[in-house]
Structure 1
Amino acid sequence: MRVLLSAYACLPNAGTEPGNGWNWAVHLAERGIDVHVLTVVEGRERIEEYSRDHPNSRIRFSYVELPTKRFKECSGMHYALWQWCAVKVARSLQETERFDIVHHVTYGSIHVPSQLWRVGIPVIFGPVGGGQTAPSSMLKHFGVAKRAEQFRTMITKALPYSPLHRIWLRKMSAILATNRDTLELIHSMGADAKLQFDAALPESFLASEPRIFDDQPKPLRLLWVGTMLPRKALTLTLDILANVHYPSTLTIVGNGIDSELLRQMIKDRGVNERVIWAGKRLPWADVRAAYLEHDAMLFTSLRDSCACQLLESMALGLPVITLDLHGARDLVPDAAGIKVPLSTPSKIVKDVAMAVECYAKLPGSERTKMSTEGWTFARTMTWNIRAKEAEQLYGKVIASTSTVHP
């Protein structure tokens, strides 16, 4: 089978979207599939350097270059223009490569659908997210990004009325949505889709067994992991910590805002002695160790498609305390932690703080059950399984297309 993989973001030894793009290519190739990756020209040097040391005859790359340098890489306009430029490259490749199917994997955004259906072969679109919007009552946590978030919400809610999006989505042979919000949005645009999370992990990442918690009273060690984007709502996490009366600490792993600003945020809430932050981005080995050294993951993102740190936590047996919202609502099994329903801003702070205290007072056996539930679920979310499922979907789509167009 020959697959044209559309991966705008694709880099070796990377996380988030670039890591997703790379893992799709590698794990599909491991199944004996010939993969040709379309990606941005900006990643060429890193990819070719890695490929020299790790050759793989089943993976090849074509780099799509934009006709202008006006737009910054990773920006919305750069991505949208790249989609159109990729069509020209794909058409040229199809003349000689004769691909069986196209699979668009990154970016996973419903706002800018792939245009590769124009190549004339079946297209799998996704998993894609982006259908979720931040609760309007919680926009104060976005700070100066509040207006931008309101604009994004307006655009997202307008998508069902976009005739172009309706046409483009109906051109896809299959669409995969990474959360229920996006699934419902796709359905409202008159297209069919099924739920498939875009988070996945290599089998080597998983702990060998769940965590075993004891009943010995001790301060609760909470962990927060992520880039400090406005939508990640670190301010909400700090507000919650300030309302937790049980002896507890919070370790922040990540960066993204000015260090002095963060330290002032911590000071303003009177939690200086309870917050641990290295003040810099940590090596991946240290991040993984942090998952293993804490008692619970505290996740308060106000808009997330399918956060990878949730899956990472569960893979290492760490129970999750989260808002019952968007990707976290769908990804985290009910018994793998505590999910707090959305309510008013002040009540959310109190409710999550109460959930933290309730978790702290649980017997070790109950926490161990949460760890086991999350770890067991994470074992079903490996890249090997994801690639196998994709191969099966490719076969079904190709067979269906052959039946319709003999």
Structure 2
Amino acid sequence: MEPLNILISAYACRPGEGSEPGVGWHTIQEVAKYHNVWVLTRQNNRPIIEAQLNQNPITKVQVIYCEPPSWLRPLHLKKKLVYLHYYLWQIAAYLVAKKLQETINFHIVHHVTYVRHSTPSFLALLPIPFLWGPVGGGESAPKAFWKDFGWRGIMYEIMRDIARTLGELDPFVKLTAQRSILARGTTAETTQRLRKLGAKNVEILSQLGLSDLEITQLSKLAESPPKIIRFISIGRLLHWKGFHLVLPAFAKAQLPENAEYWIVGNGPERSRLETLAKQLKIDDQVIFHNQLSRAETLTKLSECVSLVHPSLHESGGLVCLEAMAAGRPVICLNLGGPALIVSEDVGFKVEANNPDQVINDLANAMTILANDNHLWKQKSDRSRARVKNLYSWQKKGQELANLYEKIHNSNNSV
């Protein structure tokens, strides 16, 4: 394979982190094994990236740090304004890339992060093939579940939907979709929106992965199956995470008397969940842990039989991958990113028609896993194999490098 010159846009890009920064870093790290890579990213990523590259140089990577005008930089420090900073950063990145293109002759430009479909990438305006994503954000909590959100939760969902709709009306978002040679969505919901925006070539692909080192470390947790029936949910305690659905399901499931349900994380829903546990008379079996370090969280995970992840809208679901790599079958809703990551042979995907139905089906899944050791072992082994086969960053990087080659050859043959 002859190395190509690849320009990558990675607003979020930091080694040693999960979520979006991890997606950005792992993508460039793996692609650089095959091609020459130039990365556009934020200035505030410089210290950690340069420290990593000084310790472990990557010869085929050049990092270009760019920012909007200095008076706009404080925007990224304010959570509510970060997406405005991100939008303006896209313009700055395009201006830098346009000058670079005059001397470097990039073969392909790839937008990697943010994983967000409702903000444009002005790099699509460059006169070279543009690969968009995977991008997400097209997911919404089914309306049947809104009645349990409270007025704050409902307002959050309304404002989220409005913001996404306004983003999709942006002519530059439509132009980004229309100029993409391939647009990848993280979920079925997002791929539908990409097509409506005008993307002609669309496919579904999770943005998530685990390094081979992470897969090896997590697989060691699978070597010691838990002796007590415990279920665990991990994440911020927010209305759309759906933890309020798991508590009545746990109360309803046919479980041993010493069974427990652990919740790891902090958030505004904490008091509501504690009250609900008392009302259901399971507060002696429900244990709330505060937000823990990754190592502490994984230790807790290893002491449980299954991750219950009832998120009502999510484009990713990294914790599902981590649980599967640790041999812990995942019980999730058949929505968003988790529905793509988890297949029926490795876990349970519960349809999300209404709260009562979800509670019943979650309870049934917990009952089955708690009382069928053979099935648990089957799903545990298959979970580990699925992560290794489909979600290794090494394999994803190789597939992406091959895709670049395919796009380049196809473009040259036209």
TM over 0.5: yes
Match in the other structure for 1:49: 51
Shift of 1:46: 2.4
Residue type of the alignment partner of 1:275: V
Moved more, 252-261 or 283-292: 252-261
Check the 8 A contact 1:213/1:367 in 2, yes or no: no
Shift of 1:301: 0.3
Cα distance change of structure 1 residues 323 and 33 upon mapping to structure 2, 3 Å threshold = same
SS in 2 for 1:102: strand
Check the 8 A contact 1:219/1:246 in 2, yes or no: no
Check the 8 A contact 2:237/2:270 in 1, yes or no: no
The count of aligned residue pairs is: 399
Superposition map of 1:30-179 within 5 A: 31-67=33-69, 68-69=72-73, 71-73=75-77, 75-143=82-150, 144-154=152-162, 156=164, 164-179=172-187
Superposition map of 1:199-348 within 5 A: 199-207=208-216, 208=219, 211=222, 219-247=228-256, 248-257=259-268, 263-264=274-275, 266-267=277-278, 269-279=280-290, 281-348=291-358
Check the 8 A contact 2:301/2:323 in 1, yes or no: yes
Shift of 1:206: 2.2
Cα distance change of structure 1 residues 359 and 147 upon mapping to structure 2, 3 Å threshold = same
Shift of 1:108: 0.9
Mark the runs of 5 or more structure 1 residues left unpaired by the alignment. Answer: none
The separation in 2 between residues aligned to 1:98 and 1:70, in whole angstroms, is 33
SS in 2 for 1:13: coil
Shift of 1:104: 0.9
The separation in 1 between residues aligned to 2:35 and 2:165, in whole angstroms, is 38
Check the 8 A contact 1:250/1:275 in 2, yes or no: yes
The separation in 1 between residues aligned to 2:114 and 2:279, in whole angstroms, is 37
Shift of 1:269: 4.7
SS in 2 for 1:43: helix
Check the 8 A contact 1:86/1:116 in 2, yes or no: yes
The separation in 1 between residues aligned to 2:323 and 2:125, in whole angstroms, is 40
SS in 2 for 1:3: strand
Match in the other structure for 2:381: 372
Match of 2:17 among 14, 18, 22: 14
1:185 aligns with 2:185: no
The separation in 1 between residues aligned to 2:262 and 2:409, in whole angstroms, is 51
Q: Output one character per residue of 1:297-329: Cα deviation in whole Å (capped at 9) or x when no partner.
A: 101000011211111111121111111222222
The separation in 2 between residues aligned to 1:53 and 1:154, in whole angstroms, is 45
Shift of 1:141: 4.7
The separation in 2 between residues aligned to 1:138 and 1:262, in whole angstroms, is 16
Moved more, 352-361 or 47-56: 47-56
Moved more, 295-304 or 76-85: 76-85
The separation in 2 between residues aligned to 1:112 and 1:161, in whole angstroms, is 10
The separation in 2 between residues aligned to 1:260 and 1:45, in whole angstroms, is 39
Shift of 1:161: 6.6
SS in 2 for 1:360: helix
RMSD: 2.6
Shift of 1:211: 4.8
Moved more, 234-243 or 157-166: 157-166
Check the 8 A contact 2:243/2:310 in 1, yes or no: yes
The separation in 2 between residues aligned to 1:366 and 1:253, in whole angstroms, is 26
The separation in 2 between residues aligned to 1:213 and 1:323, in whole angstroms, is 27
Check the 8 A contact 1:129/1:179 in 2, yes or no: yes
Residue type of the alignment partner of 1:272: D
Mark the runs of 5 or more structure 2 residues left unpaired by the alignment. Answer: none
Percent identical among aligned pairs is 31
Q: Output one character per residue of 1:69-102: Cα deviation in whole Å (capped at 9) or x when no partner.
A: 4523462222222212211121122233332211
Check the 8 A contact 1:213/1:365 in 2, yes or no: no
Check the 8 A contact 2:134/2:186 in 1, yes or no: yes
Match in the other structure for 1:390: 400
Match in the other structure for 2:207: 198
